[in-house]
């Protein structure tokens, strides 16, 4: 099956579904895209790559768990990966490809914002708990390390 055939079938399927069900399905695609985005992004050196301790399906499936990278440190940060997506930016006469691209772009953007928040949280944690490591990673002396 070609990509276009797939898109056509998805469009046909969505058109036949009750609007609420179609919206729920599209929202599920958002979630999937957000998860893939979270997994694809290179984690900063402060924390390990995210795990999804509640699995990838069902309730709580979108909570990502980030662990401090320092040996012996058990600090964990949980981040809700599933904010409600905002409106999509679509051209007039958009196609399913445009929708797919817009969902992916939006998910990428939210993944980056999420990673920024996690990074911020871990930077705070490092300032108090691992100032030497922070200095090593960023190459700048931290005030707490002096
Ligand atoms: Zn730590």
Q: What is the pLDDT of residues 97-141, one digit of tens each?
A: 888 788 788 777 877 888 888 889 999 999 999 999 888 877 755
- Alpha-carbon distance of 112 to 108, in angstroms, equals 6
Ligand 1: centre distance to CA 123 (Å): 10
| Residue 123: per-residue pLDDT | 92
* Residue range 53-62: mean pLDDT, rounded: 63
pLDDT of residue 72: 93
**Cα–ligand 1 centroid distance for 32 (angstroms):** 29
pLDDT at 109 (0 to 100): 82
Residue 45 Cα to ligand 1 midpoint, Å, equals 12
Angle of helix 19-40 relative to helix 3-16, nearest 10 degrees, comes to 140
Q: Give the pLDDT band (50/70/90) at residue 145.
A: very low
Distance, CA 127 to ligand 1 centroid (Å)?
10
| Domain definitions of the chain by residue range | 3-43+81-145
Is the pLDDT at 70 greater than 80? The verdict is yes
Whether the Cβ atoms of residue 110 and residue 37 lie closer than 8 Å to each other:
yes
Q: How far is the CA of 111 from the centre of ligand 1 (A)?
A: 22
The CA 75 to ligand 1 mean position distance, Å, reads 5
- Helices 3-16, 96-129: axis angle to 10 degrees equals 90
Ligand 1 center to 87 CA (angstroms) = 37
| Residue 77 neighbours by CB under 8 Å, 6+ apart | 47, 65, 66, 67, 118, 121, 122, 125
At residue 54, does pLDDT exceed 90? Answer: no
pLDDT above 90 as % of the chain: 15
Of 78, 71, 76, nearest to 133 by C-alpha is 71
Average per-residue pLDDT in the chain? 77
Percent of the chain exceeding pLDDT 70 equals 73
pLDDT on residue 76: 92
Ligand 1 centroid–CA 72 distance in Å is 8
Q: How many angstroms separate the alpha carbon of residue 129 from the centre of ligand 1? A: 6
Distance CA 80, CA 78 (A): 7
Find the 125 Cα to ligand 1 centroid distance in Å. 6
């Amino acid at each position: 099956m070609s990509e276009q055939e797939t898109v056509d079938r998805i469009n046909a399927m969505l058109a036949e579904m009750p609007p609420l069900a179609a919206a729920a399905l599209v929202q599920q695609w958002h979630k999937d895209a957000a998860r893939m985005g979270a997994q694809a992004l290179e984690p900063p050196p402060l924390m390990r790559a995210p795990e999804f301790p509640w699995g990838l399906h069902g309730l709580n499936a979108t909570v990502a768990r980030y662990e401090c990278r320092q040996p012996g440190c058990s600090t964990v940060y949980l981040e809700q990966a599933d904010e409600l997506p905002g409106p999509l930016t679509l051209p007039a006469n958009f196609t399913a490809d445009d929708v797919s691209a817009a969902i992916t772009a939006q998910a990428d953007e939210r993944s980056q914002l999420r990673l920024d928040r996690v990074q911020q949280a871990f930077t705070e944690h490092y300032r108090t708990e691992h100032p030497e490591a922070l200095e090593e990673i960023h190459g700048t002396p931290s005030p707490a390390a002096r």
